[in-house]
């Protein structure tokens, strides 16, 4: 596959900034920023906003998000956060006493607290899965799924170390066991191939502000066909049948718009954020997720080799997300390592005892050289 040449010209990243921290927050492409600015400016003159435009951005964006994950348009809903999307899922999953909810060790908190609440409400039990011995995390999860599993809630890559989960295998095992599968793809969607047809999750959610390069407080939920008759988290006017006719909104109806649209958040028609989100998704689709993945994999393999040769373990390439590095820091690493890097305009993040290095298409060879040199100085 041909790799994507450097795309820094599309971003506002000065040459002396090495931004290796997309896992915390992806930068907005300049085109998305400008689209957002134009959208925000519309509010200066609200009389110029026709009623139909309350529907326009979501109408255009829904199929793009669907394309990103191989879904049908009717499976997509707009959510402002992962926690919101997971709350929709939790509200629509029936678990019973003693059933298990499987989570990964060190999973992202939004994807833990939601299930703790559901467990408390249903008397289901949470089981946290960790890899033992030579087992991969994915193998450990696969092994843990059994007849008493009611739900598996997991990511495609773990946010701390990039450990990769074989979602097609997990999906198949969940179906065999009759367990529901809920995915948080925030740390992979847009950078790693994923197709709902291969995995068949019940629900999938992704925040837009990391690998999708969108604004904060954007995101989307996918609901499987058999999960599109559920109860939305909130009851608002816009995802009801006939909402387009503003003069008839007080003809209240119990009928929702078709598909997963019923789960759309209130005030989904964000005139500032959605045009920016759309521009980012269009850019990602124009690059192609498979080419993004291949390009980042190539970059990260080189960084991984350089880190391993310095004694920082990143784990086998086959067991981590190709776009994601979580290097185990040596014990003598200074506790303020990321602050020291920051002082040199090098941005990475620390989660637990791992240094997270998450470059993107704007990353240059010079960024990587500067990062490695600084690391050599700081780790001695």
Ligand X SMILES: Cc1ncc(COP(=O)(O)O)c(C=O)c1O
Which residues make up the interface to ligand X (CB under 6 A)? 81-83, 108, 110-111, 155, 159, 184, 186-187, 207
Which residue's CB is nearer to ligand X, number 266 or number 288?
266
DSSP string, 134-182: T--HHHHHHHH--TTEEEEEEESB-TTT-BB--HHHHHHHHHHHT-EEE
CB of 151 to ligand X, least distance (A): 17
Alpha carbon 24 to chain centroid, angstroms: 11
Token digits for 179? 């367990």
Alpha-helical runs (H) found in the chain:
30-41, 53-68, 82-91, 110-122, 137-144, 167-177, 196-199, 273-287, 289-309, 337-343, 365-379
| Residue 351 beta carbon to ligand X: minimum distance, rounded to whole angstroms | 9
- Please identify, using beta-carbon distances, which residue of 284 and 375 lies nearer to ligand X: 284
d(CA 312, CA 376): 11
Cβ-based nearer residue to ligand X, 182 or 243: 182
Distance CA 341, CA 367 (A): 12
Secondary structure (3-state) at 199: helix
Give min distance, CB of 251 to ligand X, in A: 35
> Closer CB to ligand X, residue 274 or residue 374?
274
Please, what is the minimum distance in Å from the beta carbon of residue 285 to ligand X?
A: 22
**CB of 265: closest distance to ligand X in angstroms?**
12
Nearer to ligand X, 232 or 375 (CB): 232
Nearer to ligand X, 186 or 363 (CB): 186
**CB of residue 314 to ligand X, shortest distance in Å:** 18
Shorter beta-carbon distance to ligand X: residue 159 or 371: 159
Minimum separation from the CB atom of position 160 to ligand X (A):
9
- Which residues touch 47 (CB under 8 Å, ≥6 apart)? none
> Judged by CB, which is closer to ligand X: 110, or 122?
110
Instruction: Give Cβ neighbours of residue 149 (< 8 Å, ≥ 6 apart).
Output: 99, 100, 102, 174, 177, 179
- Nearer to ligand X by Cβ, of 57 and 184: the residue is 184
Query: Which residue from 216, 360, 214, 370 is spatially nearest to 282, judged by alpha carbons?
Result: 214
Output the smallest distance, CB 108 to ligand X, in A.
4
**What three-state secondary structure class fits 312?**
coil
* Least distance CB 72 / ligand X (angstroms): 24
The three-state secondary structure class of 256 is: strand
Both structure tokens of 293: 């993945």
Structure tokens at 66: 């669907």
Tokens representing 153 are: 């809630």
Q: Which is nearer to ligand X, 113 or 237 (CB)?
A: 113
Question: Cβ(320)–Cβ(309) under 8 Å?
Answer: no
Task: Specify whether the CB–CB gap between 61 and 77 falls below 8 A.
Answer: no
CB of 244 to ligand X, least distance (A): 29
């Amino acid at each position: 596959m041909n790799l994507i040449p450097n795309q820094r010209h599309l971003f506002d990243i000065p040459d002396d900034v090495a931004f290796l921290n997309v896992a915390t927050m992806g930068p907005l492409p300049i085109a998305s920023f400008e689209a957002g600015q134009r959208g925000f400016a519309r509010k200066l003159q609200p009389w110029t906003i026709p009623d139909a435009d309350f529907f326009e951005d979501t109408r255009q964006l829904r199929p793009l998000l669907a394309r990103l994950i191989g879904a049908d348009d009717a499976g997509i809903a707009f959510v402002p956060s992962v926690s919101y999307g997971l709350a929709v899922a939790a509200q629509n999953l029936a678990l019973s006493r003693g059933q298990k909810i499987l989570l990964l060790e060190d999973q992202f908190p939004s994807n833990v607290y939601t299930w703790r609440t559901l467990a408390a409400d249903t008397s289901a039990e949470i089981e946290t899965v960790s890899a033992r011995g030579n087992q991969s995390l994915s193998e450990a999860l696969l092994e843990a799924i059994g007849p008493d599993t009611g739900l598996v809630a997991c990511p495609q890559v773990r946010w701390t170390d990039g450990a990769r989960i074989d979602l097609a295998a997990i999906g198949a095992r969940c179906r065999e066991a009759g367990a529901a599968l809920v995915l948080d793809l925030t740390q992979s969607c847009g950078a790693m191939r994923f197709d709902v047809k291969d995995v068949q999750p019940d629900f999938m959610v992704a925040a837009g502000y990391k690998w999708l390069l969108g604004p904060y407080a954007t995101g989307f939920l996918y609901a499987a066909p058999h999960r599109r008759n559920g109860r939305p988290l909130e009851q608002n006017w816009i995802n009801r049948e006939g909402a387009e006719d503003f003069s008839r909104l007080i003809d209240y109806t119990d009928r929702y718009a078709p598909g997963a649209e019923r789960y759309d958040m209130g005030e989904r028609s964000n005139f500032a954020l959605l045009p920016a989100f759309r521009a980012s998704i269009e850019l990602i689709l124009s690059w192609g997720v498979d080419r993004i993945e291949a390009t980042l994999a190539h970059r990260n393999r080189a960084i991984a080799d350089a880190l391993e040769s310095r004694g920082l373990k990143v784990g086998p390439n086959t067991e981590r997300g190709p776009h994601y590095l979580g290097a185990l820091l040596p014990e003598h690493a200074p506790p303020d390592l990321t602050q020291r890097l920051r002082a040199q305009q090098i941005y990475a993040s620390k989660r637990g005892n791992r240094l997270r290095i998450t470059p993107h298409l704007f990353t240059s060879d010079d960024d990587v050289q500067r990062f490695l040199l600084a690391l050599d100085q700081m780790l001695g």
